[in-house]
Structure 1
Amino acid sequence: MNVAAGAPLQGLRVLDLTRALAGPFVTMLLADLGADVIKVEPPEGDITRPQGPFHPADELRAYGGYFASVNRNKRGIVLDLSTVRGRTVLRDLARDSDVLVENFRAGVMERLGLGFESLLADNPRLVYAAVRGFGDPRTGVSPYAGRPAYDVVAQAMGGIMAITGQPDGPPTKVGPGVGDILPATLTAVGILAALRQVEATGAGEFVDVAMYDAVLSLCERIVYQHSYLGVSPGREGNAHPLLCPFGLYRAADGWIAIAAPGDRHWQLLCKAIDRPDLVEDPRFRTNRDRVAHRELVREVVEEWTAGRSVTAIEAVLAATVPMAPVNSVERIFADPHVRARSMLVELEQPGVPTPLAVAGQPIKFASGSGVPMHRAPLLGEHTDAVLDELGYPSDHVAGLRRDRVVA
């Protein structure tokens, strides 16, 4: 794959043994920044390839939107690690790579003879990263280490569900897969830190992020609330326990978010809604006062917002008071900010005559360095090219292919 000159991670080779969402999101972040990511799939492919959604015109169905979104900018090979020769190829690839990322359960790679210590013996500078539900025994033995985990498991155990939803409703899962995406992002940070350490010491490193741990870190507020006050925070709907106004308010045709807990923003909000009297009202004078009278704050703010459209409210408030419409995806696609910031990227979709959009890369550089986006690989699309780079003779590759070790 051609990487733009000057891309931040140009020259970095990453061996990607991940599947589903958390692991592929790690390597997607690295690929978007210029790393040469080689995605290793089993003969049947990543479990997300057939999950869709598929465009109505797509009769090829090589992969759907899920796979396309988090596997762009990668090269793909097929390798059967259940075979001795397949594991030998993997070891050769690891010897030639800077980073290996996997998200198997703890112990799987060791049973294959491909654990960190074994691969480090071949490549002393290797950064080996694992993102699992409950971490790796190397950094702390969890009683749950053998359990499988998905996003919903991490969200449930990490505390986020217990504080999400309406006070009189059930615990609520956050819409996007934060139980996968946050640990993935932290794993990418850990990898970059480990690479800096390798530069300084020459010694490889094992990077470990548990999905449970990552979600718990996201819920840092409940930890200090419990530690400092002895409380057990529950579901607070769309309000904030420590700030007011800070949440969602009804408009005539939808919902808006307003965040004006600071006294200056509160004063500006009162002026904008033509209620300067509220500034001197002792019930609303400070943020602490407003938190104590949050329902009254809601009443006076919604008295103004409920009679106006989202667009009208935005026109009055947005320049001075932190606020935002609650965007549907249709509004996001139409938003000029999103286009200006290249946060919708159209990629070729095999089997579809026109490109389709995926979410863009939010990390920007003033120099303009970056990577032109490329579609996700077809199953085994780059196997021959990658093995050729390893120096494998063509007849050897042909033999591996004939015996279904590679594809």
Structure 2
Amino acid sequence: MTQARQAPLTGIRILDLSRVLAGPWCTQNLADLGADVIKVERPKYGDDTRAWGPPFLKDEEGHDTTEAAYYLSANRNKRSIEVDIASPEGIKLIKDLAKYCDILVENFKVGGLQQYGLDYGSLKDECPHLIYCSITGFGQTGPFAERPGYDFMIQGMGGLMSITGERDGLPGAGPQKAGVAVTDIITGMYASLAIMAALQERQKSGLGQHLDIALLDSHIAMLANQPLNFMTSGVAPTRAGNAHQNVVPYQVFKTSDGFMIVAVGNDSQFRSYCQAIGKPELGTDPKFATNSQRIINRDELIPMLEKIMATGERDAWIAKFESAGVPCGPIQTIDQVFSHPQVIHRGIWQNIPHPLGGTTPTTASPMRFSATPVEYRRAPPTLGQHTEEILQELANHKKKQ
């Protein structure tokens, strides 16, 4: 008989002193993998994002609850405890919980927890096993270390907004932020990965360590090829609108009834694309036959393609390109995304029982395991929902020591 397998992080306990998005995103990832995440929140107020609405979760009668959709997006599978860390009792409780846990995640400003004796330097001797992850705007060192960091600000400072938005000289030109807090999200992902690596290393050494994860560092790393475009050429990339700096044609096109994306990734696909639009000669023209030449002659090629694409309907083009093996797709609104057959098949919309709303929707984790699938065990907790439960567990743990 095959023994049932447990979630990957079953038995790992995390003390979550973070709020808003980067830290909670990190700990939600780990909670999805089976870790027991204890979310520490300010009495009466809790995580800032609880109030970042509307929209709010609605109860079974259709009335707004106190839980904002923003908060719900990053806090499932956790337990909430209210603790005043500015009080002697709260400080002692956090220290006791740190000894009880494997990992601590915090996103206070640099030095913000030192006054309470809850920084890594103060805890490492009492908790040598503890993996302590600090998430800040600029990291623990450097001339900007003590400054607060926010996603929008880092998108500007870190270069993303200089390469996002329409090209100069065209209508609507100017820097543009992403439509979601991508810096917070990627920082949370890097923090999750660093914690997993530190857990693996602890298996060998038996010791924890301090993880210094910065929004600015993570943001620059996320830019992938764009920093290398500059580092190898000495020329800073600029905004290209919905086009790609290194691949042509790889952009949005307007059709007679809407917009679509064509993502030609190689020269063979370009020839197929030219056949599909009725212009096979463009695929063999020396000015356009290779991607390098298409980049050089972009300003000549793209207006021709735009004129052709505007003569056909979006879905007709998509059908034609798909049959020719040309990567393409529609630009969908969020509601259209959740009605797409692939999204429905993959179960991206999940519902979890919730004490205030009956159920709460949640976006499924993209981590798919064949033997230990992610389980949606708990809805994002109400403020202090598990305070008594966690205190009782801690008391029982102390008795056993």
Indicate whether the TM-score tops 0.5: yes
Matches of 1:352 and 1:372 in 2, distance apart? 16
Matches of 2:326 and 2:14 in 1, distance apart? 44
Selected match of 1:230 from 213, 230, 234: 234
8 A contact 1:49–1:66 mirrored in 2: yes
**Residue of structure 2 in register with 1:346 after alignment:** 351
* Higher mean C-alpha displacement, 39-48 vs 265-274: 265-274
**Residue of structure 2 in register with 1:24 after alignment:** 24
8 A contact 1:58–1:351 mirrored in 2: no
SS at match of 1:327: coil
**Residue of structure 2 in register with 1:129 after alignment:** 133
User: 1:253, CA displacement in angstroms?
Assistant: 2.3
Matches of 2:332 and 2:126 in 1, distance apart? 51
**Residue of structure 2 in register with 1:306 after alignment:** 310
Provide TM-score, normalisation by structure 2: 0.91
User: 1:226, CA displacement in angstroms?
Assistant: 2.4
Pairing 1:215–2:187 present: no
After superposition, the Cα gap between the structure-2 partners of 1:359 and 1:310, relative to the gap in structure 1 and judged at 3 Å, is farther
Selected match of 2:104 from 100, 107, 110: 100
Q: Which amino acid aligns with 1:158?
A: G
**Residue of structure 2 in register with 1:262 after alignment:** 266
**Residue of structure 2 in register with 1:86 after alignment:** 90
Matches of 1:36 and 1:273 in 2, distance apart? 55
Matches of 1:333 and 1:226 in 2, distance apart? 38
Q: CA RMSD in A?
A: 1.9
Q: Which amino acid aligns with 2:329?
A: A
User: 1:373, CA displacement in angstroms?
Assistant: 4.5
User: 1:357, CA displacement in angstroms?
Assistant: 2.7
After superposition, the Cα gap between the structure-2 partners of 1:307 and 1:356, relative to the gap in structure 1 and judged at 3 Å, is farther
**Residue of structure 1 in register with 2:182 after alignment:** 178
Matches of 2:190 and 2:8 in 1, distance apart? 18
* Higher mean C-alpha displacement, 283-292 vs 218-227: 218-227
**Residue of structure 1 in register with 2:56 after alignment:** 54
Q: Which runs of 5+ in 1 are unaligned?
A: 394-407
Q: Which amino acid aligns with 2:327?
A: P
Percent of paired sites with the same residue: 37
After superposition, the Cα gap between the structure-2 partners of 1:318 and 1:112, relative to the gap in structure 1 and judged at 3 Å, is farther
8 A contact 1:76–1:381 mirrored in 2: yes
Q: Which runs of 5+ in 2 are unaligned?
A: none
Show the 5 A alignment for 1:316-355: 316-319=320-323, 320-353=325-358, 355=359
**Residue of structure 2 in register with 1:293 after alignment:** 297
User: 1:349, CA displacement in angstroms?
Assistant: 4.7
Provide TM-score, normalisation by structure 1: 0.90
User: 1:294, CA displacement in angstroms?
Assistant: 1.5
Matches of 2:137 and 2:92 in 1, distance apart? 28
* Higher mean C-alpha displacement, 21-30 vs 294-303: 294-303
Q: Which amino acid aligns with 1:54?
A: F
After superposition, the Cα gap between the structure-2 partners of 1:309 and 1:236, relative to the gap in structure 1 and judged at 3 Å, is same
Selected match of 1:390 from 386, 390, 394: 394
User: 1:267, CA displacement in angstroms?
Assistant: 1.5
After superposition, the Cα gap between the structure-2 partners of 1:120 and 1:147, relative to the gap in structure 1 and judged at 3 Å, is same
Deviations 1:340-368 (A, max 9, x none): 22222223454435x34332211111225
Matches of 1:356 and 1:316 in 2, distance apart? 40
**Residue of structure 2 in register with 1:398 after alignment:** none
Deviations 1:42-100 (A, max 9, x none): 10211111112225655462311111110111011101101111111111111011110
**Residue of structure 1 in register with 2:161 after alignment:** 161
* Higher mean C-alpha displacement, 57-66 vs 176-185: 57-66
Pairing 1:11–2:2 present: no
Matches of 2:302 and 2:355 in 1, distance apart? 50
Matches of 1:311 and 1:330 in 2, distance apart? 18
Matches of 1:280 and 1:166 in 2, distance apart? 30
SS at match of 2:278: coil
After superposition, the Cα gap between the structure-2 partners of 1:350 and 1:197, relative to the gap in structure 1 and judged at 3 Å, is same
After superposition, the Cα gap between the structure-2 partners of 1:24 and 1:96, relative to the gap in structure 1 and judged at 3 Å, is same
8 A contact 2:57–2:64 mirrored in 1: no
SS at match of 1:365: coil
User: 1:28, CA displacement in angstroms?
Assistant: 0.6
Q: Which amino acid aligns with 1:331?
A: Q
